[in-house]
Amino acid sequence: MNFPAPVLPLLSARGLTKRYNGRGGCTDVDIDIYPGEVLCIVGESGSGKSTLLNALALRTPSDDGALTYRTAEHEVLDLITLPMPRRRVLARTDWGFVHQNARDGLRLGVSAGANIGEPLMANGARHYGKLRNIASDWMSQVELDAARIDELPSAFSGGMQQRLQIARNLVTNPRLIFMDEPTAGLDVSVQARLLDLLRTLTGRLHLAALIITHDIGVARLLAHRLMVMKDGRVVESGLTDQVLDDPQHPYTQTLVASVLPV
């Protein structure tokens, strides 16, 4: 009798620690992110969630712990010791990173189409016509008017810039995307539209996503699993509905009660 192969995590961390001047940051974090899974890390400002995101995405060096990534070829990479050239390849092929402020993730001096096409060019694409067609298609996929392909990012609203940044990240077909408060700073109606788009794209593309947010409503809508951080440590984790409907840790209970009627 044949049994299905177990689903193995894409990204795994054990005891991951990053300190600033001996304190703060994140401490002794264990985490697994699986293919096609949306994992949200929630916590108030100063909880350590941004530090953890940047350590996992190799944007800041960790001080201690293990961090591995499983490639599409089933090679397990030790990310802590991975040479910088290999890290760069990983970041522009398998991974994406969506900044809280879309302007930090866009090239403001080039057109919307060029912003989407540039990651493909970095991976060797050179056919202008094909690049333009792909950029136009991705603008449509993130609900931007493809007729505006030659306009600069500054001509778009904040919500549109965030969707453009998402297209720039997804055009290379990454397996894992990191998102830093992707809806922060947007008004409620724009947030709702962006969240609906993210839920559609992650599901359709079978994309693994790690999202940090202070907004439990975002986690409720998007996440399969939830981790709660306080003072640099994970205090509770589990399936999203389980954690939000029956929080066990006093901090999680306070967090949920502050935004969700009980």
* Long-range Cβ pairs for the range 49-53 (8 Å, 24+): 49/212, 49/229, 50/180, 50/212, 51/18, 51/20, 51/24, 51/25, 51/26, 51/232, 52/16, 52/18, 52/26, 52/212, 52/229, 53/178, 53/180, 53/210, 53/212
The confidence score (pLDDT) of residue 114 equals 95
Same domain for 128 and 141, yes or no, is yes
- Give pLDDT, residue 22: 60
pLDDT averaged per 10 residues, the chain (length 262)? 70 94 84 95 92 95 96 94 94 94 95 94 83 94 95 95 95 94 85 88 91 90 94 95 94 84 43
Domain count, the chain: 2
Residue 262 has what pLDDT?
39
- Tell me, yes or no, whether 237 and 120 share the same domain: no
| Domain limits for position 166 | 107-173
Q: Is 88 found in the same domain as 188?
A: yes
Judge whether 236 lies within some domain. Answer: yes
Q: What is the pLDDT of residue 192?
A: 86
Asked if residue 3 belongs to a domain, the reply is no
> Among the three residues 158, 173, 188, which one is the final residue of a domain in this structure?
173
Same domain as 195, residue 140: no
**Within-domain flag for 213:** yes
